[in-house]
Chain A
Amino acid sequence: MTSIDVRDLTKDHGATRAVDRLTFRVEPGRVTGFLGPNGAGKSTTMRLVLGLDRPTSGTATLGGRAYATLDEPLRHVGALLDARAAHGSRTARDHLRVLAASNRLPGRRVDEVLEEAGLAPVARRRVRTYSLGMRQRLGIAAALLGDPQVVLLDEPSNGLDPEGIIWVRQLLRRLAREGRTVLVASHLMNETASFADHLVVLGRGRLLADTALEEFIHARVDPRVRVRTEDGADLRELLARHGYDAVEREAAGDGGERWIVRHARVDDIGRLVSEAGLPVLELAAQDGTLEQAYLDLTATETEFAARHPVRPHPLAPPQSPTRSQEV
């Protein structure tokens, strides 16, 4: 069992702090989504874990060892950082042969991962002729070359066609099922929601959340129930009596009115309308999406930043004492 342990990790690029006292652990057997806006420090953290950048302070270890102390690390850790890393004048197969040779990996692994990534028919073509999606597949193939226990991928779905996106999703699920440690950085919310079990969210170099995907969404987005009925007034009255707040969304084109009940579970609403004998044309749960939860989190963060400014904005009006007390 190999986990990635990041402890008090800090990285300064000159005056800017790219990673700020970051502590988290990536556990094996699940896919951990690594979220955050551009410039939040995701890629820097990955480079620090791989020993490519030196931390200003703190440590990053894999199974208790620093990456730089591993002999033949591709046998333990596979990473995709940048799909452009393969030299355009080399063939995909030669690119992988070079990597395999450096870690004494058997040559058959090269053909196996090319097959797995769907690149076998174009393996002897120069990487220069590849589309971004094909380069991405090559980068993922390179990450899988040593059959590693730990896999780190930075934006693996970048530039992939729909089949490629599905392939990546299934691949990540399979790797986690096999008990491997999988960390995937992304800023595509819906994509991440489709493969991640766990989330680590960064904002301006700091840890904003380290929690299970389900929990993350439920803690931030209230579940809603959608009801379509021909008798909106009765529905509203019934729900109001039970303390629910129903709002009409729009007249449904397919007949009836569409209502949204906030802070409600579909089981409770279903039981209620059925007991009241109210005719219902459609009843559906509207679970929160990762995107909503993420935006809620970043909005809270922005609010926090606005309320605790490092230095007042020159154009901002001076705050009265009463206003700051409200806070």
Chain B
Amino acid sequence: MPFVPAAFVTAPFVSVLHSEWLKIRTLRSLVAGLGAAVLVTAAFSALAGLDTSGDADSDPLFSAFFGVSFGQIAMIAFGTQAMASEFRGGALRTSLAAVPRRGRWFAAKTVAVGVSALVAGLLTGCASLAAGRAALGDRAGATSWSEGLRAIVGCGVYLALMALFAAGLTALLRSGVATLSILVPFLLLVSFVVGDMSGNVADLLPDRAGQVVLHQTWDGMLGPWTGLGVTAVWTSAALVAGTWSIRRRDA
């Protein structure tokens, strides 16, 4: 694997990754959070599909992914909780006493959270598309297989990026409550309100940019993959800030 940094393939990294994966698997609330993301998204996509009063010019592909706006809250809660559990009762000290190389530890945490979220996100994509199109019935617009596949993959990547965005922010703020009280109002209010004014800097917000991939057509400056790229920049910034906080500050 020539493009993978050595730190990621050495035995210590794999064991730390195993440990971080066990941490996620052994907390019922985290597993439930991932399950909730799948169910909430599919449920809201189906509900939106049953609503016949919708405007006719809505995007045929995005109407099957309407639930993502709600499902992403569950995904953000997952990313936040996975990191925030380290900042309770001195848990971080136990973790860093076991893995004193903080960069390695944070990388393993990021990979464990990211891969879990990606897998759940891909499932969410499949479930949402299936549920949404079933509910739409005859009204489901014509979309090609490749568009559907692109949206499913995009949904998985987008939700994984949002979970990691939340995880990075939590590491920076050292508090899950602080992170959620910033992100949830932001996603529910700011993006909805500002988001209607398209064609401006609002398109560069992490959720607006990342959700372009769920649409059949787009008219902004960002396409499906460039949009996800913008979201990835936000996520990287949050993760870099989180790494800085973990490495520099006293545990």
- Give Cα A54 to B249, complex, Å: 8
Residue from B15, B85, B98 within 8 A of A73 (CB atoms): B98
Would B18 and A85 count as touching, CB distance under 8 A? no
B19 interface contact, C-beta 8 A = yes
Would B100 and A67 count as touching, CB distance under 8 A? yes
A243 to chain B, nearest CB (A): 56
- Give Cα A72 to B89, complex, Å: 23
Would B250 and A47 count as touching, CB distance under 8 A? yes
Number of inter-chain CB pairs below 8 Å: 85
A142 to chain B, nearest CB (A): 7
- Give Cα A77 to B100, complex, Å: 12
A253 to chain B, nearest CB (A): 51
- Supposing A101-B19, A102-B15, A104-B11 touch, asked if A81 and B250 sit within 8 A by C-beta, the answer is no
Residues of B within 8 A of A47 (CB): 93, 250-251
Would B15 and A50 count as touching, CB distance under 8 A? no
Would B97 and A52 count as touching, CB distance under 8 A? yes
- Interface 1/0s, chain A 68-99, versus B by CB < 8 A? 11111110010101101111011100100111
Residue from B26, B97, B98 within 8 A of A90 (CB atoms): B26
B50 interface contact, C-beta 8 A = no
Closest to B95 in A: A102
Would B100 and A51 count as touching, CB distance under 8 A? yes
- Supposing A98-B22, A98-B26 touch, asked if A71 and B90 sit within 8 A by C-beta, the answer is no
Would A70 and B15 count as touching, CB distance under 8 A? no
A121 to chain B, nearest CB (A): 20
Residues of A within 8 A of B39 (CB): none
Task: Give the residue among A47, A79, A98, A103 with the most B Cβ atoms within 10 A.
Answer: A98
Q: Which of B91-111 contact A (CB under 8 A)?
A: 91, 93-101
Residues of B within 8 A of A82 (CB): 89-90, 93
Residues of B within 8 A of A303 (CB): none
- Give Cα A72 to B105, complex, Å: 12
Closest to A90 in B: B26
Would A52 and B98 count as touching, CB distance under 8 A? no
B144 to chain A, nearest CB (A): 44
Residue from B15, B27, B93, B251 within 8 A of A87 (CB atoms): B27
Residues of A within 8 A of B139 (CB): none
Would B15 and A103 count as touching, CB distance under 8 A? yes
Would A70 and B100 count as touching, CB distance under 8 A? yes
- Supposing A68-B101, A87-B88, A94-B26 touch, asked if A101 and B94 sit within 8 A by C-beta, the answer is no
Residues of B within 8 A of A142 (CB): 94
Would B28 and A53 count as touching, CB distance under 8 A? no
- Give Cα A110 to B213, complex, Å: 46
Would B90 and A97 count as touching, CB distance under 8 A? no
Can you spell out 22 A-B residue pairs with CB atoms less than 8 angstroms apart?
A47-B250, A47-B251, A50-B93, A51-B96, A52-B93, A52-B96, A52-B250, A53-B250, A70-B100, A73-B100, A77-B97, A82-B89, A85-B90, A86-B89, A89-B29, A91-B26, A94-B22, A97-B26, A99-B19, A99-B94, A103-B98, A104-B11
